[in-house]
Amino acid sequence: MILSRLAGRPAPLAVGLAAALVLPWFVYPPVALDIACWALFAAAVDLLLGFTGLLSFGHAAFWGGAAYGSGLIAVHSGLPFPVAILGGAALAAALAVPIGYLSVRLRGIYFAMVTLAFAQMVYFVANQWRDVTGGENGLQGIPRELFGLDLSDPFFFYYAGLPFVLAGFLVAWRIVRSPFGRVLVSIRDNPARARALGYSVERYKLLAFVLSAALSGLAGGLFALGHGFASLQEVYWTTSGQAVMMVVLGGIGTLWGGAVGAALVVELNDYLATAGFQETGIITGAIFIVVVLLFRRGVWGTARALLARRGAPRPEQREPAPSEAGRSAETVQAEG
Amino acid sequence: MGDPVPDAPVLAARGLVREFRGFRAVDGVNLDIAEGSVHALVGPNGAGKTTLFNLLTGFLKPTAGSVRLGPHELAGRSPERIARLGLARSFQITSLFGELTPRQHVELALAGRTGLGWRFWRSDKALGRFADRADELLGEVGLAGHGDVPAGALAYGRKRALELALALALEPKVLLLDEPTAGMGAEDVDRTVELVRRVKAGRTVVLVEHNMSVVSSLADRVTVLQQGRVLAEGPYDRIRDDRRVITAYLGDSHAAR
């Protein structure tokens, strides 16, 4: 059933899959893996930001927590890498239960600030607990293997990890197009109304938060194993910010937009770094500002709207009643 | 309060108080809503009607007092719990989910009690099992054929009708309508009155309403609020002639007439 619905929109899906499959042939393989991991991370953040209306500024806790968790499992147990990755995702989900429970009641900037504070606590623990995390040196020498097969070559590890990223995207896509996803959208648009229909808004937000954290953890664990180390950077607040930036660049509430944003940011950072340019933040920041000012729906959101406008009947013709001025703007927004 | 009442009210408030920083917006209100009746809450602006409404539905917590719906105490419970217990409300400001279609709205309302909303691993097509009932309800409020446009694009009167369909979808014991004709032209008002008259059959309705002709044509009983207190209560005809009520609404000169 999932496949038949995905098949309903074959062109973008085929392009996306093809791009994912050939990526390491065109970009430096470790960068390709970075793009894949960040793409999933951004989609997970978008699940909250775009579909639940929650701006989390603390998702580094889940990405980074899972990076350390997966790394520790791989280092100490010697289990195959999928076990380590899934273990990291489970750890991130478990971490999200208390953090989410204490923060989903808050709105807007307060929610963002409280999630940021929790992420800083995770950073503090990772920094101080040197015996386990390696402190400032990070957790090094994380093995990557599957039944004795050494996957240290980034090119091969990309293909070993890709199924997990694709599965993560499939899960995210299923969530936003499930009855649960429908309730989330209604909560995003109008929490009081959703409550009056009998929906426990906080509990729905909490489940969305935990699911988002699990997907972020899946991405973070894969990232750590792919690089063979987990560093403090993974739990630092700029990591949370970068994920949010990718979502805004690609288009909030589009899911695939996050992947586009991730590809742009990671590739650009890599390009500037190889060119010897130190302050990459100036360039990415400037691009971010331009995109936000010119294309409020993000790169992917704008492209999709343009495509839809070309194919579909004009929105003005869909509702016969001519009584409301300013309606067309509302209609366009509803499509976006 | 402990007196044996022959016909116990389906919804009853006792000594309901809500303070905002020392100001008592609702000040010791008692209210009995008889089963099967249409009961209007009226009063000048700032009389506490909307606050009372929010207290009954859990969107505000009472400072003191109790609200009972049949055997259930509602005071202090969450709005979603109260909705599930059978008290459904419409909103004064049209309050919809812009992106969804009217049918999807009603499907969500119908799915509320089934737990389907938690199934994040299922296709949203599963909500389609409520489509037939949703279309029936849309037909009941005069929205047949409008099920598929984005709700944000509906004309104002139709949005209000959708509000009503959402409340009806909850199959409430008591239906609370917050100014169902607010902001409407005469034509839409007539249509809405007709609509409420049609859906009130076999239902208990509490109505906040400014428009007295609407009240007169719909309400069995009227409670007049002023400054957070109950000023008068009774059938519409008696309330209409009550001197205190006329004073509250129109000032002394009219009362002396």
pLDDT tens for each residue of B204-242: 999 998 888 888 888 999 999 988 899 888 888 888 888
pLDDT for residue A318: 40
pLDDT tens for each residue of A154-175: 888 899 899 999 999 999 999 9
Q: In angstroms, how far apart are the furthest CA atoms of chain A?
A: 70
pLDDT band at B29 (very low <50, low <70, confident <90, very high): very high
> Are A192 and B79 inside 8 Å of each other by CB?
yes
Instruction: Please report the residues numbered 215 through 234 in chain B whose beta carbons come closer than 8 angstroms to any beta carbon of chain A.
Output: none
Q: Which of A10, A269, A267, A216 lies closest to A99 in space, CA to CA?
A: A216
B159 in contact with A at a CB cutoff of 8 Å? no
A211, part of any domain: yes
Answer yes or no: is pLDDT of A329 > 90: no
Would you list the DSSP string of A67-96?
HHHHHHHHHHH---HHHHHHHHHHHHHHHH
Size of interface A-B (CB pairs under 8 A): 132
SS (H, E, C) A243-261: HHHHHHHHCCCCCHHHHHH
Judging contacts by C-beta atoms under 8 Å, the chain B residues touching residue A172 are none
CA distance B113 to B86: 11
CA distance B209 to B50: 10
A178 in contact with B at a CB cutoff of 8 Å? yes
pLDDT for residue B2: 43
pLDDT band at A336 (very low <50, low <70, confident <90, very high): very low
A127, part of any domain: yes
ipTM of the complex: 0.83
Alpha carbon separation from A228 to A59, A144, A161, A225, A326 (Å, rounded): 21, 7, 13, 5, 55
Domains, chain B: 1-75+211-257 (3.40.50.300)
Pick from A97-101, A170-174, A210-214, A284-288: least confident = A284-288
Instruction: Please report the residues numbered 184 through 203 in chain A whose beta carbons come closer than 8 angstroms to any beta carbon of chain B.
Output: 185-186, 189-190, 192-201
A319, part of any domain: no
> Are A190 and B113 inside 8 Å of each other by CB?
no
Work out how many domains chain A is built from and give that number. 1
Give me chain A's average pLDDT, please: 84
Helix (H, G, I), strand (E, B) or coil at B221: strand
A334, part of any domain: no
pLDDT tens for each residue of B64-89: 999 999 899 999 899 999 999 999 99
C-alpha dihedral (A306, A307, A308, A312), degrees to nearest 10? 110
pLDDT for residue A9: 62
Residue A169: what residue type? F
pLDDT tens for each residue of A261-278: 998 888 888 888 888 777
Average pLDDT value for residue range B165-186? 88
| Domain range for A156 | 27-236
Answer yes or no: is pLDDT of A115 > 90: yes
B98 in contact with A at a CB cutoff of 8 Å? yes
CB A187 within 8 A of CB A205: yes
> Are A197 and B121 inside 8 Å of each other by CB?
no
A260, part of any domain: no
